[in-house]
Structure 1
Amino acid sequence: MFCPRIRRKSLITLNLRIAHMANPQLSGEEITQRGRELYEKSIRSQVETKENIGKIISINVETGEYEIGEDLIMTSRRLQAKQSDAPIWAGRIGFNAVYAVGGTLTRMA
């Protein structure tokens, strides 16, 4: 049976979440640029170790803080627990992408 009250409440919650995320201070391109620069210039040499190769790194591009783990969602959530509106860039340590869709991940030198 269709219950309009439940559906309307769900839509309101969804709209509030989208509205909260709809006003980013940085564009996706700026987040990507800052994340890559931070990783290459100041983080890569510290984290690209044998035990970290293949793990996910999420970086708050405003503060430079980062989290490493096996799961993209968990590393991002740990950063968001510190700053809920953190602009986050993520990568896979030692590789050119986080995930491969229809191809393979390429190991970086």
Structure 2
Amino acid sequence: MQSIFWSVEEVAQRAKQFYENGIRQNVEYSDNIGKMIVIDAQTGEYGIDPTGVETALKLKQKNPNARLFTIRIGYDVAVSFGGAMERTAE
């Protein structure tokens, strides 16, 4: 199978579309809130586990060229990397 070359933004957009257009209503219930969902941006296949690692490994085993995206269920952002920190005068 040939690799698909998408930007990070394209992978995120496709995965979020899958999530919003069908996956969300199947997974957002109390037992899953806070768990990680890993979505194959090409196929829409997904899996859920506490960290996303096991699911990512399984999806990559099925398709080594999979473009994966991870979302924390029930939250808008899975991981946030902040901006610069400034030192203030005392």
RMSD (CA atoms): 1.5
- Structure 2 residue 4 is the aligned partner of structure 1 residue 28: no
- C-alpha separation in 1, matches of 2:44 and 2:81: 28
1:52-92 CA-partner distances (Å, limit 9, x unpaired)? 00000000011110010011222211110110110011100
Structure possessing the higher radius of gyration over alpha carbons: 1
- C-alpha separation in 2, matches of 1:25 and 1:70: 28
AA aligned opposite 2:20: E
Which structure dedicates a bigger proportion of its chain to helix? 1
Match of 1:51 in 2: 31
| SS across alignment from 1:95 | coil
With structure 2 as the length reference, what TM-score do the two structures score?
A: 0.80
With structure 1 as the length reference, what TM-score do the two structures score?
A: 0.67
Higher relative contact order (CA 8 A, sep 6+): 2
4+ residue runs over 3 A deviation: none
Q: How does 1:75-86 map to 2 (within 5 A)?
A: 75-86=55-66
AA aligned opposite 1:77: L
AA aligned opposite 1:66: Y
| SS across alignment from 2:60 | helix
AA aligned opposite 2:26: Q
| SS across alignment from 1:57 | strand
Q: Displacement of 1:98 after TM fit?
A: 1.3
Unaligned runs of 5+ in 2: 83-90
1:8-31 CA-partner distances (Å, limit 9, x unpaired)? xxxxxxxxxxxxxxx752111110
Q: Give the aligned length.
A: 80
Match of 1:89 in 2: 69
